[in-house]
Chain A
């Protein structure tokens, strides 16, 4: 839908000429996020510098019924920050300020475009950090993290983004600039902050975020255990949790990833290992020392072929090196892959790993795994050759079967990446009509015209548009007059 000249003039009037992108080449750079399956260039891109500009853009778009798509760094994995229905994309890359750091009250307020790791850099010297640590934290924005309610390796102990967001300033889809929550730990009323985190831009545009900061732990201890198989390693994960430990991180890598990493710069994972478990404990020194020994012991009891505990920071960095190189190493395995983010109850890991192996064999595909085992959050990489349509079809089929298997075990469609355009039709696996109906209406409270990031997060209903029909109890007829 091309935009009228008058509309564009007004847009330019709000943000200025240098903050408006209209050229085809310019718009094409915004046509997708990291999930390049989903492409949709916006008709215009604006780069506002202030909340008032954001509000004026939303009000203008609302008047003209033009869709609005928020975008942070564009590092999402779900086809969230792309303009499925055209319209105006609002890029937050100019709103990157740290507005306030208040260490006595353990919080900071930042603009949405600020890169996640920059906040930690701003407070690290004084002994603090921002706990949510998605693997993209060097490039992803905190606004984007809020939008998808991002997780990361260390959220096993520290919780995901929502557990660290105290307040939001946002422009709702209705064009209102509202402040939700804030520095103080609690305030009366509905928890609108809590429900807005993870809404993937479908409620509005966040213009400032107040987050909880976490004190750096006294000690960190990392251990690496190699196992013959994923099933053995999965059983060790359950045993560690059952022994009363909540490690800071509990990450698993499978044989395919281990080989790929060793073939590259080489973290030197044990050859012949079918799975590697990276266990990180942090907290008070005495606790960490004791628990690291116990975790190592549990791994040995569960048949680990080797267990090494880092003695210092240098050794610790070496153990993490492989995990951090996993994404790059995948390039050595395959040109293309489908990435899953489903979750199973962690006690079901051995079961889902067996299932995964059989799905891979059935479809003659390589499925590589590097994932957050501690909370059962899988990240299978289903590898295929993108020159071979048959392989792609099989990869999609395998992807689908795996997702169904996770849900059948009581799991969830996505643990930390979000829904976006990619998984919205999968919501029906997990939610009944009444549940989806509730979500549609919830969204309408913030975005009455449904102009905010359309086509994302919620599925469309085949029968009656967006109107899922819930089931009510049947009341007996004729009981009353």
Chain B
């Protein structure tokens, strides 16, 4: 049974109210994804309303694009279809903070910044800091598995999501995981949702593990004489008892963008602990740095805000390159040679995990596409990957934004998609392998 545009709009408004579902041109234009203007923008105020939208869309064969803050809309392939943008920003309640349990339950539209503010009084934190994190929603961070410098010590959403309430493609509200910090009851469904880009279900509520805020956190900047010296320094820190909160690699372009003194390579290292331990560890780092011929500077806490802004705002294209920690320097060289001498880009990395971010200023999409393929061939040796985290639609149409997925694993992913979203209502075409 098909539905006329008018009647479906009536059905949405009947449940969500006049401001909960709109087809006015300005809202539709603002919610457009890769040039696709949805026919409606739905802004549910409750999980029930969101479930209603999905059930309706499923029955009518409509494509639904979930949306949080909109900051990751440039991730993935252009959608095959777009009928309803499901804007979750109004699901913005912190439902339950249990400080003694170090857990919190939030709705998907709560931003990481709002949660940080709510937790600050109890000196607790959800240590997730993907680029531009203060305004990103937790549902969005979950769906994209976005991460930042703090993943070094605390892991990613994968490690912090204890339980999740999500809505399946057909509108069935489902719970996976637990509300306690330790549980192996049933399959680990939260893991499946993290990073699935809303293609198996729409995250509605998250129960998260919190950490105590470091009593003192201090950051040192090591300015190194060469990338090789930086690689050696990373290796020495990894193979030590030091416990950094973050250890980021900055290339000369990144140093300039952060308005820091220049060097062939730099490492920004933050240590969080009690005061005496912070001092002792920075002393140990200074020793390693001196041996590597580095100049050590102390930077204030504002550095990480500047760094975050730089990561969030630099470059019209952002690549995430995952490789081995021991291969940072060769990968940097491969990035340089693939992009060419004239290209304008900066590179940063979560060094001990081998995850590099390449922010590139506008360039010819064809040339950039070829560079990405060359880089993919390079990291393939170590089973690494190159994902376009954001980029112009022309680029993402030319090259697969995700890159290849091994055949056996991809087949399992397709089976899961067919099982849980057989009509391809959820974000069709945007995920790996055209899922």
Contacts and interface: CB of A to CB of B under 8 A. Distances in A.
B99 A242 contact: yes
Contact of A163 (B145, B159, B277): B159
Interface string B366-408: 0000000000000000111101000000000000001101101
A474 to B, nearest CB: 9
A189 B182 contact: no
A22 interface: no
A345 B433 CA distance: 40
A462 interface: no
Contacts of A291: 274
Contacts of A436: 186
Interface in B318-354: 320, 322-326, 352-354
B280 A284 contact: yes
A270 interface: no
A461 interface: no
Interface in B171-220: 171-176, 178-189, 191-192, 194-196, 200, 211-213, 215
A87 interface: no
Nearest to A375: B182
A47 interface: no
Contacts of B171: 472-473
A327 interface: no
B100 interface: yes
A106 B416 contact: no
A183 B405 contact: no
A321 to B, nearest CB: 25
Contact of A215 (B175, B241, B273): B241
A346 interface: yes
Contacts of A415: 180, 182-184
A188 B196 CA distance: 9
A414 B415 contact: no
Contact of B324 (A177, A183, A343): A183
B408 A176 contact: yes
B255 to A, nearest CB: 24
B58 to A, nearest CB: 9
Interface stretch (B63-71, B232-240, B294-302): B232-240
Contact of A187 (B158, B176, B322): B322
A480 B3 CA distance: 6
Contacts of B176: 435, 438
Nearest to A169: B408
Which of A443, A458, A479 has the most chain B CB atoms closer than 10 A to its own CB? Answer: A479
B243 interface: yes
Contacts of B10: 479-480
Contacts of B174: 434-435, 438, 470
Interface stretch (B34-42, B49-57, B256-264): B49-57
A413 B402 contact: no
A20 B51 CA distance: 52
Interface stretch (A191-199, A272-280, A390-398): A191-199
B416 A190 contact: yes
Nearest to A427: B186
A387 B183 CA distance: 34
Which of A242, A284, A347, A444 has the most chain B CB atoms closer than 10 A to its own CB? Answer: A284
B175 A432 contact: yes
Contacts of A179: 406, 408-409
Given A163-B155, A190-B416, A480-B8, A412 B14 contact: no
Interface of B: 1, 3-4, 7-8, 10-11, 14-15, 48, 51-52, 55-56, 59, 98-103, 123, 145, 155, 158-159, 168, 170-176, 178-189, 191-192, 194-196, 200, 211-213, 215, 235, 238-243, 273-274, 276-277, 279-281, 320, 322-326, 352-355, 382-385, 387, 402-403, 405-406, 408-413, 415-416, 419-420, 431-433
24 contacts: A104-B324, A104-B325, A177-B408, A186-B320, A188-B402, A195-B192, A218-B241, A246-B212, A284-B242, A285-B277, A286-B279, A290-B276, A344-B180, A346-B101, A376-B181, A413-B185, A423-B185, A427-B185, A434-B172, A434-B174, A438-B189, A438-B420, A470-B174, A475-B59
Please name the 9 residue pairs, one residue from A and one from B, whose CB atoms are nearest each other, closest first.
A194-B191, A178-B408, A244-B212, A218-B241, A412-B183, A347-B100, A287-B277, A286-B277, A480-B7
Given A162-B188, A284-B281, A286-B276, 7 more contacts: A188-B402, A244-B123, A345-B98, A410-B180, A417-B184, A434-B175, A476-B15
